[in-house]
Structure 1
């Protein structure tokens, strides 16, 4: 069964690449931690809007957690359990933010002629 799922996913990825459309990395995972991808030709569909809303909620929770963690870490009398809890929540929020950043980065288009800007020669020209 696992091989069939992998084959199906690979065929879908090839179809997406051949059509010029890359799947969107969604801001959540399956119960076993696997990534979720959305293969759709239109932006602004129901699942895309849901993913956008979910990303906004995750970023808001992350911001709130930074504030809470700062309070705990700034308290010299905070217990080990409080510090551990804050650290675990911050780790979860950072994981979410990194997934959102990756998803958004994958959706950015590269302007024509900028593909080679990462080369050492292009970097030297930009500096000198």
Structure 2
């Protein structure tokens, strides 16, 4: 089992929006693969949303309600991307070779 400080932040929230963590040594296990797939979907969705957002923002005829909806969607996508970045950054620190301490 992983150490408590080696828990993986999962790309979804639990009840009340609290973070979910995975404790496992098996990076190829079902939950790890599920999390990897979910992260990939979230990043792809954010990229597509950004492409559409650029067009919407540059359109002078865009209604204020459409801009508000876009802002909500972008906020959610940014939250997802930041969670993925935090999780992957933590995983990198666990897999990078450590400097020897003398």
> TM over 0.5: same fold?
yes
> Which residue does the alignment assign to 2:6?
22
C-alpha distance in 2 between matches for 1:81 and 1:47: 38
- Structure 1 stretches of 5 or more lacking a match? 1-14, 116-128
Distance apart, 1:114 and its partner CA: 8.6
> Which residue does the alignment assign to 1:106?
90
Q: Deviations over 1:42-73 (max 9, x none)?
A: 11100000000000000011011001111110
Distance apart, 1:112 and its partner CA: 2.6
**Runs (4+) off by over 4 Å:** none
Larger Rg: 1
> Which residue does the alignment assign to 1:79?
63
- Over aligned residue pairs, what C-alpha RMSD do you find? 2.1
Relative contact order, CA 8 A, sep 6+: which one is greater?
A: 2
- Structure 2 stretches of 5 or more lacking a match? none
- Give the number of aligned pairs: 99
